[in-house]
Amino acid sequence: MKENEYTNRFTLCNVRIVLEDRIEEGSVVIANGLIERIDVGSKAESGADRSVIDGEGGYVLPGFIDMHVHGGFGADFMDASRDSYDKITGFHAANGTTTMLATTMTAPKSSIEAVLEAAAEYRSAGMPYAALHGVHLEGPFISEKWPGAQNPAYILNPQLSWMQEWAERWPGLISQLTLAPEKEGSVETIAWTSQNGIVTACGHTDALYTEIEAAADAGLSQAVHTYNAMRGLHHREPGTLGAVLTDNRIHAELIADGHHVHPVAIRLLVAAKPADKVILITDAMSAAGMPDGQYELGALPVIVKDGVARLAEGKALAGSSLTMIGAFRFMLEHTDLTIPQISRMASGNAARQLRIDDRTGSIAIGKQADLVLTDADLNVRRTWVQGRTVFARKE
């Protein structure tokens, strides 16, 4: 059985369909890259115009949307090459991701521009695996006090003129900007980026509670890798974390791998935030999908041991080797959340932040067939982007 690119018509039958608020057993009909029909309780049969894929009782989920990912399978988005982008998007598609943001590092302006150009070319030339929706600029407008695995040599105050220049050169490409709101020029930059459709996030920041609130007033709407590389919670100064936990204008990214955030802190986050305000991300680096060893992140040496990436000097966590399906399973094991609730955190919430929820992020008639088929244990069997197979596990 083969599906023809974008003109296919087939049915996923005998599946547990993960909708936004429930799970239904039945089948999903895909036609021309879109979800044509959802049949609850039905048993599809082969026909002259339709192929049937038996899900064998597994789950069909909306494809995962990763807003914060640096690389995978030995490649980094900072490589700014099509070969690297194929490796990254192919690896993450095999783990259920259908949409992602190419995330940069704190680097010279020319290096960031190389990524913007490469991402624009990659999107225009056709993407064989997970789709690059845009670029997430993580820095260089961050705090010297909280560099994490970012290269401190290139940290700057926000440069609004750069953002305006890049938006003019690559219209609609920049989807997210991460900065430290306490830095000079931040509020002005936040106001401009948010007004121009760019998700603006705090991260690598030493901001006080009042500084985050002022940033949210200006349009800040997200926090990157919550708990990590930010001023923590103190009972007399709630800090960045206190604002993120209590201000529901702010979406909270979460690396759910058990290394970046303790399970108890994860449960605290999901108890504090509304279910539609938590966004699972991987923050994966090039070592994702690769064996332990020596790697680089932002031109800094990284050592990966037992799947945990740390800077060779200072031992700070340096991205992750996480996949979205791995984060999904971790949340299911370590919280009381249901599969539909976790699915929203892995897909729907990011889709709404990126303003693409009209076409992806959930399973609904008329939306793109960006789907993941898993077995009963949530191991990925197959991934589709707009109804086109981008990964199929060898059975």
- Residues identified as active-site: 283
For helices 239-246 and 263-272, what crossing angle results, to 10°? Answer: 50
**CA gap 115, 113 in Å, rounded:** 5
- Do residues 372 and 98 make contact, with C-beta atoms less than 8 angstroms apart? yes
**CA gap 241, 203 in Å, rounded:** 10
What distances in angstroms separate CA 228 from CA 17, 74, 129, 180, 259, one per listed residue? 34, 24, 30, 13, 11
Residue 83 CB-half CA count within 13 A: 2
The alpha helices in 128-250, defined as continuous H runs, are 160-169, 186-195, 209-218, 239-246
**CA gap 200, 210 in Å, rounded:** 17
Q: What angle do CA 213, 281, 225 make, to 5 degrees?
A: 40
- Do residues 173 and 116 make contact, with C-beta atoms less than 8 angstroms apart? yes
The helix/strand/coil state of 171 is coil
Residue 376 has what DSSP assignment? Answer: T
Locate 90 and state its tokens.
């192919």
Residue 268 has what DSSP assignment? Answer: H
**CA gap 354, 348 in Å, rounded:** 10
**R_g of the chain computed on alpha carbons:** 20
The DSSP bridge pattern shows strands 131-138 and 97-103 to be: parallel
> What SS3 string covers 328-363?
HHHHHHHCCCCHHHHHHHHHHHHHHHCCCCCCCCCC
The alpha helices in 136-184, defined as continuous H runs, are 160-169
Task: Please name which of 46, 148, 32, 131 lies closest in space to residue 88, comparing C-alpha atoms.
Answer: 131
